[in-house]
A and B are shown apart, each in its own frame.
Chain A
């Protein structure tokens, strides 16, 4: 019983943290502040993964998302002079208002449908889904082809990013 209460407390705190920090992320004017709140939201979701018993993905979330991807975004923010963008006033158009209304309605529909129906399906055989050993065994047997294709995806990303950012495309000077 005590464990259940502790789990609920952790769940409520981390979900509120994730929701509030992602709200702050989309509302901050300063882009660096947005990026830092984004990291907080990612760490909060990593804690939710831990609650679900998926330690490996929680660590990967912190290494890849909160670490590497956000590092790249922060680098790009520092490379670009964003003072013009940060002075921009929010432009309210009819399309945006309609979009926000529709997405809020969509959220209500999602909550209604997903909140009222439980997940149905045959239970699998695994008691723990989180450790690296289970994931490794499946990754190198059943998911072998996606794994090798992922390397080709990474190769394509590398070639594409270098093509886009090579010196000639940027002109001779840097600043």
Chain B
């Protein structure tokens, strides 16, 4: 049996790669994909825990996380398209209306 910690280490690395992508990139779509990567890493943790505890609750969580991620993709990408219509770019530095 592969120890559950091995899966935890992999998902921690994937999560941090997603965080670094979301912090450093300026292209809105790449930032969005990095956030999806973070969700994916959390899903891996949930499924690993669920599999090692012989319990199904984690799997159910993953199911609903995927639903939320898909709804988020539909609305979020529509927002990017609107931003592109307004400013003709999706460079994130351009969107600073809420900056104090």
Do any beta carbons of A and B sit within 8 angstroms of each other in the complex? yes
Size of the B side of the interface (Cβ < 8 Å), in residues, is: 72
Known contacts A45-B40, A57-B63: A80-B80 contact under CB 8 Å: yes
Chain A min CB distance to B46 (Å): 10
Which DSSP category, helix, strand, loop or mixed, fits chain A's interface?
helix
A54 in contact with B77 (CB, 8 Å): no
Chain A min CB distance to B20 (Å): 6
Query: Which residues from B are CB-within-8-Å of A84?
Result: 89, 91
Size bracket of the A interface: 35 or more
Query: Which residues from A are CB-within-8-Å of B71?
Result: 153-154, 156-157
B53 on interface, CB distance cutoff 8 Å? yes
Question: Which residues in chain B, 82-96, are within 8 Å of chain A measured between CB atoms?
Answer: 82, 84-85, 89-91, 93
Report the Cα distance A7→B17, complex, angstroms.
Answer: 25
Question: Which residues in chain B, 12-52, are within 8 Å of chain A measured between CB atoms?
Answer: 12-21, 23-27, 29-30, 32-34, 36-37, 40, 43-44, 47-52
Which DSSP category, helix, strand, loop or mixed, fits chain B's interface?
helix
A57 in contact with B47 (CB, 8 Å): yes
Known contacts A31-B27, A45-B40: A169-B53 contact under CB 8 Å: no
Query: Which residues from A are CB-within-8-Å of B91?
Result: 84-85, 88
A158 in contact with B74 (CB, 8 Å): yes
Chain B min CB distance to A27 (Å): 8
A49 in contact with B47 (CB, 8 Å): yes
Which of chain A's residues has its CB closest to B40's CB? Answer: A45
Query: Which residues from B are CB-within-8-Å of A129?
Result: 50-51, 54-56, 59
A73 in contact with B32 (CB, 8 Å): yes
Report the Cα distance A96→B25, complex, angstroms.
Answer: 10
Chain B min CB distance to A65 (Å): 7
**CB<8 Å pairs between A and B, sample of 14:** A11-B6, A26-B20, A26-B25, A26-B34, A35-B29, A48-B10, A52-B47, A65-B66, A85-B91, A135-B59, A135-B63, A157-B71, A158-B74, A164-B78
